[in-house]
Structure 1
Amino acid sequence: MTLPASVEGAPGTTGATEVPGTHPAGGAVGIGRAHAKAIVLGEHAVVYGAPAIALPVPQLTVTARAGWSSHSGDDGGDLSFTMSGSASRAVVTQASHSLRRLVGAFKERMGVHDGPPLEVGLDGAIPPGRGLGSSAANSRAVVMALAGLFGRELTEDMAFDLVQTAENMTHGRASGVDAMTVGASAPLLFQAGRARRPAIGCDDVFIVADSGTAGSTKEAVELLRAGFGQRAGAQEAFVQRATRLVDQAGRALAEGRPAELGARLTDYHELLHDAGLSTDRIDTLVRAALAAGSHGAKITGGGLGGCVLALASPQAAGRVTQQLLEAGAVRTWAVPLRGRQP
């Protein structure tokens, strides 16, 4: 899978930095950053070759710091890992396991074998289990921090491959959408392992609303697969319907027809709902967004919890946000679309 260099950053390189500064071991500190993402349309079907549209959520960021340590890690190894925030112990343990393997993959890829123990810390605001790409963002931030610490220049292809390796460890068969979008500066149209910036003719606002309930991509994938196995042709029908909705939404996005774009969001929510991937709480938020005057709304991410994504005009965005909060959303973020050509 390849992310064209023109999509993000300077041609062929990432934004890794090496920042000299005070550190317990007296060495340099590498700093890396990434941000959240939301899937506009294409969840689940993208794994089967359908297109997907993904949206960077720059308001939610994670920063990683990598440096040298004067002592061994907690397990006696050559890496100590810390993670700030309110994540549960289970989330921290899973993230730690995945990121330790990511550090090993980075060292092998970069030909780094010996050296003092490493100390890696993550400080982020992306809530886990919400379909916002927290694991991919954590991985990208760590990769960028390690590149800075070791003074390595990474191409986007190299960064993507490393993040995707970690995503496959965490989620099984990952589509690559998260690994690409957490480093992108604009929406992406993704299909068959490649991404490009779609044309944008709308100046509307996407509102991401956290339901307060974590979802489970793994459980959702297993549920969907089980449903496919119960009826001949179910998988093909799901993928074909998803593909049509994404294609129609892409044209509406490019041609500046937000009402049609929003309608396709709602249609896609119905597709996921019928597959058993929504919840009562999510459905309540979707109805609230529609009643408040949004163009459309849907669950975003793997499903069985997580967030709702609504599209509204700038004039209606405040009203939609308020209605979502009154309907039970625990927090919201607004991501403006800005009409422009890729």
Structure 2
Amino acid sequence: FVENKKVEEPLLLKIQANLPPSRGLGSSAAVAVAFIRASYDYLGLPLTDKELLENADWAERIAHGKPSGIDTKTIVTNQPVWYQKGEVEILKTLDLDGYMVVIDTGVKGSTKQAVEDVHQLCDNDKNYMQVVKHIGSLVYSASEAIEHHSFDQLATIFNQCQDDLRTLTVSHDKIEMFLRLGEENGSV
């Protein structure tokens, strides 16, 4: 970047982000996108979404090796996306009668490690692959629930998916605690 954009003076950067790292929320992609936008703005250079995605994907490869690209694409478009095998389709804005809550459990994790663990489960017992396929079908059902503005149906699908994640051993006691707390207080 320094060579390509002819940055003549050394820069000292301090990055302070509110999105916690290692939680599966895309914090590294968010920081990469923010840094790239700020850099281009500082240099007075135009920046297309295509360039932004290319640079952010490069940064994500440094951080994660072989990321899917969904985090950068979601952040750059700033809209919900349907992502499948590298292809992205922008979805319409969610219009649901209800609230979705994202809670940070404080537990650091690794998406890469979770994926490797699930691969190992599937390699050792083919029944786990059926669970993975069920999650895939739930994703399509969730898309339909969103399309039909059915919050209750979407909540049911999320709960079914969480059951599958438990089976695949990629849930956590703190997640389960928050789910129970939510149910005890009226969440669906």
TM-score by length of 1: 0.51
Contact 1:199 1:253 in 2 (8 A): no
Contact 1:186 1:197 in 2 (8 A): yes
Q: 1:148 to 1:199 in 2, by over 3 A?
A: closer
Alignment partner, residue 157 of structure 2? 264
* The 10-residue stretch of structure 1 (268-277 or 219-228) with the greater mean CA deviation from structure 2: 219-228
TM-score by length of 2: 0.88
Choose 1 or 2 for highest CA Rg.
1
Structure with the higher fraction of residues in strand conformation: 1
Alignment partner, residue 225 of structure 1? 119
Q: Which runs of 5+ in 1 are unaligned?
A: 1-105, 296-342
What SS does the aligned partner of 2:13 have?
strand
User: What amino acid is the match of 1:228?
Assistant: C
Alignment partner, residue 147 of structure 1? 40
What SS does the aligned partner of 1:195 have?
strand
Counterpart-to-counterpart distance in 2, 1:114 and 1:140: 19
Alignment partner, residue 119 of structure 1? 12
Q: 1:197 to 1:164 in 2, by over 3 A?
A: same
Q: Which runs of 5+ in 2 are unaligned?
A: none
Q: 1:239 to 1:128 in 2, by over 3 A?
A: same
Counterpart-to-counterpart distance in 1, 2:94 and 2:7: 48
Alignment partner, residue 27 of structure 2? 134
Match of 1:274 among 167, 175, 180: 167
Relative contact order higher in (CA < 8 Å, ≥ 6 apart): 1
Aligned residues: 187
Counterpart-to-counterpart distance in 1, 2:17 and 2:138: 33
Match of 2:77 among 184, 197, 202: 184
What SS does the aligned partner of 2:14 have?
strand
Q: Please list every run of at least 4 consecutive aligned residues from structure 1 whose deviation after the TM superposition is greater than 6 angstroms.
A: none
Contact 1:189 1:198 in 2 (8 A): no
Counterpart-to-counterpart distance in 2, 1:199 and 1:148: 28
Structure with the higher fraction of residues in helix conformation: 2
Q: Does 1:250 align with 2:143?
A: yes
Q: What's the % identity of the aligned pairs?
A: 29
Contact 1:147 1:153 in 2 (8 A): yes
Counterpart-to-counterpart distance in 2, 1:241 and 1:171: 27
